[in-house]
Chains A and B, each alone.
Chain A
Amino acid sequence: MAGVLASIACGMVGSFVVVKRMVFISGGISHSAFGGIGLGYLAGFNPVLGAIIFAILSALGIGVITERTRRQDTAIGILWAVGMASGVIFIGLSRGYAPDLFTYLFGNILTVPSSDIILMLVLDGIIITTILCFYKEFIAISFDEEYAKTTGIPVHLVNLILLCLIALTIVVLIRVVGIILVIALLTIPSATANQFVSDMRRLFWLSILLGVVFTISGLAISYTLNLPSGATIIILAGVIFAISSAVKSLISKRKSFDFAS
């Protein structure tokens, strides 16, 4: 269940992350979310809530910084590390032992409580509605931000909305694969799908489908071989991506060979 919900979010938002090349930005957001998790432990509220707040704040921060400077990757790198560090400090300050800290870092899809499932459901709802509302704007700014500006789209605003969606998606995914591996589940399904489709809508569907396949078969493998679930899912996804890239390049090579002869 959690796997399917996560796949919907990462299939749709991940498609934009891949085509708009925001992988590094997404990495920054997810790691800064760790600060929120730490704060949740320290202040005694649900760490997922803390993760949402921190992820959204860092997404907005990145959006504003991007508008002002050209060196956005430096800023993202700083945010990435500072978010992580503040999480460590918060957890260090909170007395006692953080029982499922490891879960947030590396994910464990089997231990997702039902309250978090409801939260994921709500987040998925928000993500889908927002994408439907801003579909053409998201595509336009992904394709060419500057051109989008000339057609009168409020590019900066739309960008911030997209960044917030990425933040929400990351929160959904943290439960499944954990902060450190989020980036993989956000990018691999869409990157794999992008090799085979030529249309954004199909990219959504295929990414979601691949996400479901990766998580469920990864789970099955981790169960039978007794391996950590998050990592198994990612390794499986990575291997499939590598195979599909190889197949794809083989096909195009043969095509150009046919053409030449």
Chain B
Amino acid sequence: MKGVRNEIVRLEDVWVYLEDTLVLEAIDLTIHQNDYIGLIGPNGGGKTTLLKVILGLIEPTRGTVTVFGGTPKEGRKRIGYIPQYAQFDREFPISVLDTVLMGRAGRRGLFRRYTEEDIASAEKALQTVELSRYRDKQIGRLSGGQIQRVFIARALVSNPDLLLLDEPTASVDKYIETEVYDLLDELQSKMAIVIVSHDIGVISVHVNKFACLNHRLFYCGEKKPNLEMIEDAYKCPIDFISHGKKHRVLRRGKK
């Protein structure tokens, strides 16, 4: 029974067509309270779409999605979302603190201004990501890794129970990547995390569950998926790099 009680997200037989293209096919996925899931798969395999389905940004063509016992639209207030990096205008005239505050824009409701409490929790979130001294800087002036952490702070400011990250390290340097993962390791005890990546090597050291997605969910479990499963998901030869055990395995699969 324990497993049922702390279930927070459940997808049952979810199918998604986007402009007549099948993106997700018969997805069954459950996320539990203490999960730290690495969602891997090839580009265009539907990883981002899956996150958006959980967030209620995309309606599934078929199937049901339950988020914190309700619809995604009801449940998403408890989700912190970190979209794919670099989808914003760096000239945008907004300070770091105001960016973080946006994470609370919806819950404060229309016609209301941010309260002292909002600002206090935004400052706390900035502290968590160690960016307090940049609070008044314009967001575009920060480095890539710092912006990424601002977005994490923006997701944290609403005290979420689930954190969804879409390739948070896709376009940042290796040392920033380490920074981001260290931060996530700390947060992991307080909330469930789903992290999208196409680099299984890096995430395998951190996450406690894996999900392989390429339109269908090929594998979901606690063990690191083996090469055959991944190749099955990718359906093409891949370079497989493992950073897990201090040595690297580089193998090219056959067609």
- Which residue numbers of A lie inside 8 Å of B, CB to CB? 19, 21, 133-137, 139-140, 142-144, 146-154, 194, 197-200, 202-203
Contact = CB atoms under 8 A, between A and B. Distances in A.
A152 B93 CA distance: 23
Given A136-B108, A139-B102, A199-B138, A147 B93 contact: no
Contacts of B94: 139, 143, 198-200
Contact of B93 (A146, A149, A153, A197): A197
B77 interface: yes
B57 interface: yes
Nearest to A196: B93
Given A148-B106, A150-B79, A151-B158, A194 B93 contact: yes
Contacts of A202: 93
A102 B181 CA distance: 63
Interface string B89-100: 101111100110
Secondary structure class of chain A's binding surface, majority of residues = helix
Contacts of B249: none
25 contacts: A19-B93, A134-B111, A135-B113, A136-B105, A136-B108, A136-B113, A136-B114, A139-B98, A139-B105, A140-B102, A144-B83, A148-B102, A148-B106, A149-B55, A149-B57, A150-B81, A150-B106, A151-B77, A151-B103, A151-B104, A151-B107, A151-B158, A152-B106, A194-B93, A198-B95
A198 B96 CA distance: 10
A140 B105 contact: yes
Contact of B110 (A137, A139, A142, A146): A137
A130 B91 CA distance: 25
Contacts of B83: 144, 146-147
B119 to A, nearest CB: 12
Nearest to A19: B92
A19 B138 CA distance: 14
Contacts of B88: 143-144
B101 interface: yes
B99 A143 contact: yes
Contacts of B215: none
Contact of A198 (B57, B77, B105, B138): B138
A136 B91 CA distance: 18
A21 B138 CA distance: 19
User: Which of A150, A154, A202 has most B Cβ within 10 Å?
Assistant: A150
B121 to A, nearest CB: 14
Nearest to B158: A151
Contacts of A144: 83, 87-88
A251 to B, nearest CB: 14
B47 interface: no
A199 B95 contact: yes
